[in-house]
Each structure stands twice: as structure tokens, then as C-alpha cells.
A and B are shown apart, each in its own frame.
Chain A
Amino acid sequence: DAKTTQPTSMDCAEGRAANLPCNHSTISGNEYVYWYRQIHSQGPQYIIHGLKNNETNEMASLIITEDRKSSTLILPHATLRDTAVYYCIVRVSKGGSEKLVFGKGTKLTVNP
């Protein structure tokens, strides 16, 4: 299974862009990169996912390098409510069913 490496913690000023990096150097060609976040005392929340191309939705943008060995989640205008643990996950396929394996994540703190 492809593993991911993320910084343990990051800080960001409110209103600024938050750029969260993730390294997944052993990713396979058919594995997607998913991002989830977990706000204190809640279950994880899906943010975005991608395979090769950059993706954008109402929550965030995902930039994947051409070699697919790393990616960056961008929150364009961080708010205090974006303070959470952010998990970068490589979605592994096994027997037709996809596992969802979490690492330790990055604790993002958005400061006023």
C-alpha cells in the first residue's frame, strides 16, 4: 500500500491561503489521492480527490505533481473554522473494494 508523509503541524493566518503538502512517492498509476479533514470531536469529512489532473471544488484545490509523487491541498482563504487535522490518503484497491487507510495527518491551526 502506498504510504503518505505529511508535516505534523502547520499554522496559517486567517484570510490567507493554506497550502498543505503531502508526499506519496510510492503511489501506483491507478491510485487516487484523497483528502479528508477532521474537526475536533467530529468524524472525518471528505474534501477532494484526484488522479493526475489538478482538481477544484467549493472547498479546496488539489495540485498533483506531474510525477504524482506529491500533492498540495490549497484552502484559498482560510477561516478559523478550517482549523482541523487534514489527512492525505492514497486510496488502495483490493479485490475490487477500496480501502481507506489514514495516516497521522497535519494539524492545521488558523490564527486570527
Chain B
Amino acid sequence: EAGVAQSPRYKIIEKRQSVAFWCNPISGHATLYWYQQILGQGPKLLIQFQNNGVVDDSQLPKDRFSAERLKGVDSTLKIQPAKLEDSAVYLCASSLGRENTEAFFGQGTRLTVV
């Protein structure tokens, strides 16, 4: 079974530039999560989708971050404009979306803002 695919693996940009990350979840998984993990901390949930609808985006900095999940499959997370403090690993995860099922994570995209 293919896992959660993310790209790119690494990205370096200058502050004020924009960047986009892509996630392809496991086939058939209804729930998709985006997390931000700053070095030395646990992952922080940014946004959660159920199919193509947003379930929770309470921790998403909406003035600069946006995410979409067209057709309820792939998802993109965008930052515009980036700040130095956005340097982190961005993790995508997916699950079946039913109660009591585990989530599977991708390897993440490491973003460095200089």
C-alpha cells in the first residue's frame, strides 16, 4: 500500500516569497491533516479536511497561510508571504476518517526561510 506522498522534500526561500507544498494522501482516506513542526517541538495541527470540506482550521494563520483539497483527494498548503518564523517541517497525514482509526504521515517538507 502506497503511503502519504509529499513534495518537495526540502525548500529554501527568502522571506516575503511565497511557497506551496503538495500532499497526496493514501487512496480512500477521507481525512487529511496538515501539521507544522518547529524544531524541537511536537507537530502542531494547522488544518484538517474531511473529504473536501474544512473541519478545523483554528490554528491556521489565515493572513498568510491557505490550504485547499480539491475533489477531496490531493491537497496543497500555501504560504504567502513567508516569514522567518515559518521555518519548520510541514507534515501531511491522512486517515480513513472513521472513528478509532489511525493516521498515517508523510515524510514532510522541510522549509527554510532566510
Instruction: Show the binding face of A for B, using Cβ within 8 Å.
Output: 32, 34, 41-46, 49, 85, 87, 91, 93-95, 97-105
Asked if B43 is at the interface (CB within 8 A of a chain A CB), the reply is: yes
Residues of A within 8 A of B33 (CB): 100
The interface of chain B, by Cβ under 8 A from chain A, is: 4, 31, 33, 35, 41-45, 48, 50, 55-56, 91, 93, 95, 97, 99-100, 102-108
Residues in A with CB closer than 8 Å to B56 are 94, 97, 99
Interface of A is mostly: strand
Contacts A94-B55, A97-B50, A97-B55 given; indicate if A42 touches B45 (C-beta within 8 A). Answer: no
Chain A residues positioned under 8 Å from B106 (CB to CB): 43
Give bound CA distance, A80 to B108, whole Å: 23
| A29 CA to B114 CA, complexed, in Å | 46
List the A side residues contacting B91 at CB < 8 Å.
43-44
Given contact pairs A95-B55, A97-B50, A46 touches B102 in the complex (Cβ within 8 A): yes
Expressed in whole angstroms, the Cα–Cα distance for A93 and B107 within the complex equals 25
Distance of B104 from chain A, by nearest CB (Å): 7
| Complex Cα–Cα for A49 and B100 (A) | 9
Closest chain A residue to B40, Cβ basis: A104
Q: In the complex the two chains form, what is the Cα distance from A85 to B4 in whole Å?
A: 21
Min Cβ gap A32→B in Å is 6
